[in-house]
Amino acid sequence: MMMPQARLYDNPQEFGEMIVQHLKSSLNLDVRQQEEEPLLLEIVYGPDKEDDRAVVSLHNTFQTYMRSGDFNTAIDYLNGVISCSNAMQNKEELLMIDTTCIYPALRDQKYVEEAAQGLELIVEENIPGLCTVFLEIKDGYSKLISQKMLEHHPRLNEEKVKRLGYRNLRSEGWTPSRMTLQSPFRPSCYVETFLDNPFPIECQFINPDMSRGHVPASFLIAFPTRRTVLLMRSEEKMDTLAQAKQLAKKSKFHEMVRRSYRVMPHPVSEHIYWSCNGEIQRLENV
């Protein structure tokens, strides 16, 4: 039997300090923990460039590490930060936006509120507990698009960024599932898994113009991680909230979602949502 991995860092302060030391030695830059929030780091791009800084959130990485004990999650994230920081050490590169690479992505509302303090992100609130942010995804890393970045792009504004993001997503076409699993506990229920796509696909499910013809009138959906979407359809009726909750429990879909959220890297939400004729509600107490 495989033994669980022992954790070396059991609190946010120690975890953040460890990441800071690694970043300092790898980047040769000033890296600081915020005093009131040890999981928020600031990377300053030079002693005479106090205003040129990147804010790095360790919230999701620490959360995954605490649940799984897998230090490789932290190492992977650290390597991503180093790669991104090396690519962005000049201000022009940092503020540049390639409008063909903007995509909408879902993030936990609490994450957006806590991890993005002072960044003035472009955000939509269209699902209970989740927010839509807008990312530029290019050259192996992503940038959250903020109001400050738009100051350097007079032809762009918040509404145009949103339109471009959804336009780019639509132009990719519908992204199908990688695998369909029949529930052994409720054979009438089938779970479709959407994994490891090159761009965020979550918003294709909440945009009726995109989802029409690809999903049933009623279904359950969850966004446990940034790279995973789980959708459950059923041969049984799912026309009411009570029916949806019953099927989520009897098929054990709720356990699958919770396990994915707690074990896999980059968690987003353990909530399950019921979509019925284009209207989305969060299932409570499942």
Instruction: List per-block mean pLDDT (blocks of 10 residues) for the chain, which spans 286 residues.
Output: 58 87 83 83 71 72 76 74 64 76 94 72 91 87 83 91 97 95 97 93 93 95 95 97 97 96 87 94 91
pLDDT of 49 reads 57
Q: What pLDDT, on a 0 to 100 scale, did the predictor assign at position 224? A: 96
Same domain flag for 41 and 117: no
Question: Is residue 105 located within the same domain as residue 80?
Answer: no
**184 and 249 belong to one structural domain:** yes
CA geometry: angle 227, 232, 238, nearest 5 deg: 145
Same domain, 141 and 185: no
Task: State the pLDDT at residue 1.
Answer: 39
One domain for residues 72 and 26: yes
pLDDT attached to residue 2? 41
Place of tokens 């909440």: 206
Number of domains in the chain: 3
- 270 and 196 together in one domain: yes
> Are 185 and 155 contained in the same domain?
no
71 shares a domain with 14: yes
Query: How many angstroms separate the Cα of 103 from the Cα of each of 12, 145, 199?
Result: 30, 10, 7
Q: What is the pTM of this model?
A: 0.78
Tell me: do 26 and 77 sit in the same domain: yes
Task: Report pLDDT for 191.
Answer: 98
Domain boundary pick from 88, 110, 140: 88
What would the DSSP string read from start to end of 47-111? TT-TT-EEEEE-HHHHHHHHHH--HHHHHHHHHHHHHHHHHT-SHHHHH---GGGEEEEEEEHHH
- Residue 22, pLDDT score: 83
User: Would you state the pLDDT for residue 140?
Assistant: 66
* Domain limit, last residue, from 50, 68, 88: 88
One domain for residues 270 and 187: yes
Q: Which domain holds residue 260?
A: 179-282
